[in-house]
Amino acid sequence: MNREPVVLPNVKTKIKATKKKKKFSMKFLTPWLFLLPAIVILATFLVYPILEAFKWSFLDYKIIAGTGEYVGLANFKEMFADKYFWVALVNTLTFLVIVLPLNVFLPMILAVLVNQRIRGAGTFRVLYYLPVITPMVVAALMWKMLYSQSGIISEFLVKLGVFDGPTNLLVQSSTALTAVAAITVWKGLGYYMIIYLAGLQSIPKDVYESASIDGASVWKQFTKITIPMLTPSITLVSVMTIIAGMKVFEEIALTTGGGPSGATTTLVMYIYNKFMSLDVSIASAAGIVLLVLAIAASLLQMKLTSKREDDLRV
């Protein structure tokens, strides 16, 4: 009877404490439960192979035996001494220089066009999106046919007077890379258009209304409202283009196979060829160079665009 008042509060605090502890551990666990399946899969089939690739680049790895000895930087030295590695590097950068401006501006124009309030705009969106839904292998083979010496593109260029006789752009070393880049741009138009379209539609309509009441021309509205408001979309499109452009494979592998005489052998093709000849350690080393380029490009791009956003704020 006497003890009761002493015991009771003790029990109460104990209950309170466990409850709090349970609540705390749930609060700690919940986010990880959400993340668990994705993280397990990504760790196994993405992060682990990536780490392995790093390891292999320092080994003399034999994929059939599944072993390799540590060779330090020998793979990198061998690769940097390889003339074809440098050719591949230049081809990759050239490819990006061709694709990036086209990917940033053409889809933006398409988005502005199909964003107009005119009859049939929705149909045009669908038609512009068709290349995106085409499987990449199909796109590559279709364009290979179009590019063929007796195909429509050759015929068109001869009629324009660009070439004297039938010419396959894919087999000329001076034009092959551009011809391949055209496939990439064609395939991506609709996709990037949608990204811009989402950006365009998130711009409040009354901004345009008040601008046109103030007498701003359509062009001025485009440069002063649309483009600045699209900055996040532009950043996204650029970064995606660079990252995707460096990984381009099918449109090269299935059209030129890297030729003629290495004119379209990008870094990715170089890696693929090394893998096929079982030089997986060199392939890994070249893969790391590709990764470094992708990261560097993304960082630079983000820095540039965030700087422009800062300027706008001032």
Q: Which of the residues 69 through 108 are near another protein (CB under 8 A)? A: none
Give the contact letters, 141-160, x = binds to another protein (CB under 8 A), - = no.
xxxxxx-x-xxx--------
CB of 147 to another protein, least distance (A): 11
Whole-angstrom distance, CA of residue 290 vs CA of residue 33: 34
CB 180 within 8 A of CB 263: no
Which one of residues 59, 98, 181, 189 is an interface residue with another protein (CB under 8 A)? 189
C-alpha triplet 293, 295, 298: angle, nearest 5°? 105
Which lies closer to another protein via its Cβ, residue 11 or residue 28? Answer: 28
Which one of residues 8, 15, 17, 50 is an interface residue with another protein (CB under 8 A)? 50
Which one of residues 5, 72, 135, 215 is an interface residue with another protein (CB under 8 A)? 135
Whole-angstrom distance, CA of residue 130 vs CA of residue 103: 16
Considering the rule CB under 8 A, would residue 245 count as an interface residue with another protein?
A: no
Considering the rule CB under 8 A, would residue 192 count as an interface residue with another protein?
A: no
CB of 228 to another protein, least distance (A): 19
Which lies closer to another protein via its Cβ, residue 13 or residue 44? Answer: 44
> Whole-angstrom distance between the N-terminal and C-terminal Cα of the chain?
75
Whole-angstrom distance, CA of residue 268 vs CA of residue 91: 10
Whole-angstrom distance, CA of residue 233 vs CA of residue 185: 17
CB of 39 to another protein, least distance (A): 7
Nearest by Cα to 258 from 247, 244, 273: 273
**Interface with another protein by CB under 8 A: which range of 7-15, 16-24, 34-42, 223-231?**
34-42
Nearest by Cα to 190 from 107, 123, 100, 117: 107
Whole-angstrom distance, CA of residue 56 vs CA of residue 63: 10
CB of 6 to another protein, least distance (A): 34
Considering the rule CB under 8 A, would residue 304 count as an interface residue with another protein?
A: no
Whole-angstrom distance, CA of residue 28 vs CA of residue 81: 51
By CB under 8 A, the residues from 256 to 295 that bind another protein are 268, 271-272, 275, 280, 283-284, 287-288, 290-291, 294-295
The residue count for binding another protein (CB under 8 A) is 86
CB 58 within 8 A of CB 70: yes
Nearest by Cα to 281 from 54, 50, 88, 47: 54
Structure tokens at 306: 């965030």
Whole-angstrom distance, CA of residue 86 vs CA of residue 130: 36
CB of 11 to another protein, least distance (A): 26
Which lies closer to another protein via its Cβ, residue 203 or residue 225? Answer: 203
By CB under 8 A, the residues from 204 to 233 that bind another protein are none
Structure tokens at 294: 């992708």
CB 212 within 8 A of CB 221: yes
CB of 175 to another protein, least distance (A): 18
CB of 280 to another protein, least distance (A): 4
CB of 2 to another protein, least distance (A): 40
Which one of residues 16, 23, 220, 247 is an interface residue with another protein (CB under 8 A)? 247
